[in-house]
């Protein structure tokens, strides 16, 4: 995973944890029964994304909730509905889009606390279970349709919903496609394939299709890569859902740093924040905590 220099170790601290008043202790859900069988689940947070005022939005998948965390760490409930919100991204114009495992691609009205569908099917066929999404600078929405796919069923899909409404299936051979992010030039799409324990690299052709898809990096563990983000220098930050780390890869695929959880092992998603874009915020789902790490030193 590295050539000569071992990866730098970066520690984390707890930025904020879900208050007890919001935890659903002792409640069972169909999502938790299928995805975390036998594990008490009072919440499972994911999908961190910042608005223009520095508020951090996150989702709570099994209970259909979306929260807003203020810069001082205070939580407030924005919406609760019948669904399983999994990924969340806030566009430059303030639109809040959600990849919902139950319904598809949704849009949140944070002021009204309401959510509405944007895309719920393809050619009258329901999605298998949308997981995460990424917004391109031109308004295109890239999203993963993961469902229960894996090595036993490598049929997960990655889609692009163009700003003009056209829907393209980029690949339909994914091994549990999860988090995804474009590189700074927006000519390559990186997709976390959780049950392959790898990140795939999807280069775009001139017509917008992908070709020569390959594994950018491989990992290990009982789960695999989950949510991802990328900085302006093309370094890929990969949350791992069972190893208690976020791994940082250089543009050539070399592991340059590992960011260690100070809470539990389920580092499910990440977002870059801070006035200087030098802080990484991490959802640690098993404890319902948001962690923070100083990544400014990566530039030294």
**What are the pLDDT digits (tens) for 46-79?**
999 999 999 999 999 999 999 999 999 999 999 9
CA 154 to CA 177: how far, in whole Å?
9
The DSSP element (H or E) to which 32 belongs, if any, is: helix 30-35
What's the rounded mean pLDDT across residues 14-27? 97
Look at residue 299 in the predicted model and tell me its pLDDT. Answer: 81
C-alpha separations of 63 from 84, 136, 189, 264 in Å: 7, 29, 30, 20
CA 228 to CA 22: how far, in whole Å?
26
Tokens 């409404």 locate to 165
Tokens 């309401």 locate to 114
Look at residue 231 in the predicted model and tell me its pLDDT. Answer: 97
Look at residue 223 in the predicted model and tell me its pLDDT. Answer: 97
Q: Which of 300, 274, 264, 280 is nearest to 42 (CA)?
A: 264
What's the rounded mean pLDDT across residues 174-203? 98
Q: Which of 266, 258, 208, 220 is nearest to 236 (CA)?
A: 258
Residue 300 pLDDT > 80, yes or no? no
Residue 4 pLDDT > 80, yes or no? yes
Radius of gyration of the chain (CA): 18
Look at residue 44 in the predicted model and tell me its pLDDT. Answer: 98
Look at residue 259 in the predicted model and tell me its pLDDT. Answer: 98
Q: Report the DSSP beta bridge partners of residue 121.
A: 126
Residue 3 pLDDT > 90, yes or no? no
Per-chain mean pLDDT for the chain: 97
Residue 45 pLDDT > 90, yes or no? yes
Residue 178 pLDDT > 80, yes or no? yes
Look at residue 49 in the predicted model and tell me its pLDDT. Answer: 98
* pLDDT-above-90 percentage for the chain: 98
Q: How confident is the model at residue 278 (pLDDT cuts 50, 70, 90)?
A: very high
**3-class DSSP assignment, residue 196:** helix
Q: How far apart are the two ends of the chain, measured CA to CA in Å?
A: 21
Look at residue 1 in the predicted model and tell me its pLDDT. Answer: 76
CA 101 to CA 82: how far, in whole Å?
11
Tokens 């496609």 locate to 177
Look at residue 2 in the predicted model and tell me its pLDDT. Answer: 82
C-alpha separations of 211 from 71, 107, 129, 199, 207 in Å: 42, 31, 25, 16, 11
Q: Which of 147, 110, 130, 157 is nearest to 35 (CA)?
A: 147
Question: How many residues in the chain?
Answer: 300
Residue 153, both tokens: 């069923």
């Amino acid at each position: 995973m590295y050539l000569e220099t071992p990866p730098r170790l970066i520690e984390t601290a707890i930025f904020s944890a879900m208050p007890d008043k919001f935890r659903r202790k002792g409640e069972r859900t169909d999502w938790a029964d299928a995805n975390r069988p036998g594990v008490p689940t009072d919440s499972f947070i994911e999908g961190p994304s910042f608005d223009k005022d520095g508020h951090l939005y996150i989702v709570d998948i099994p209970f259909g909730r979306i929260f807003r965390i203020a810069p001082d760490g205070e939580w407030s409930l924005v919406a609760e509905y019948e669904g399983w919100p999994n990924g969340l991204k806030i566009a430059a114009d303030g639109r809040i889009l959600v990849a919902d495992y139950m319904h598809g691609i949704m849009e949140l009205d944070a002021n009204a606390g309401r959510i509405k569908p944007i895309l719920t099917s393809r050619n009258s066929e329901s999605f298998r279970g949308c997981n995460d999404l990424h917004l391109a600078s031109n308004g295109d929405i890239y999203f993963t349709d993961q469902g229960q796919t894996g090595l036993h069923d490598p049929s997960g899909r990655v889609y692009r919903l163009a700003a003009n409404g056209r829907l393209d299936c980029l690949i339909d051979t994914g091994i549990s496609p999860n988090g995804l992010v474009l590189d700074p030039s927006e000519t390559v799409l990186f997709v976390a394939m959780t049950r392959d324990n790898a990140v795939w690299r999807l280069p775009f052709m001139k017509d917008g299709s992908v070709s020569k898809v390959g594994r950018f990096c491989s990992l290990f563990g009982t789960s695999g890569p989950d949510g991802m983000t990328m900085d302006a220098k093309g370094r890929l930050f990969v949350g791992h859902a069972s190893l208690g780390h976020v791994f940082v890869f250089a543009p050539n695929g070399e592991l340059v740093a590992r960011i260690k959880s100070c809470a539990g092992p389920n580092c499910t998603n990440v977002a870059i924040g801070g006035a200087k874009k030098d802080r990484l915020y991490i959802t640690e789902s098993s404890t319902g905590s948001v962690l923070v790490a100083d990544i400014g030193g990566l530039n030294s």
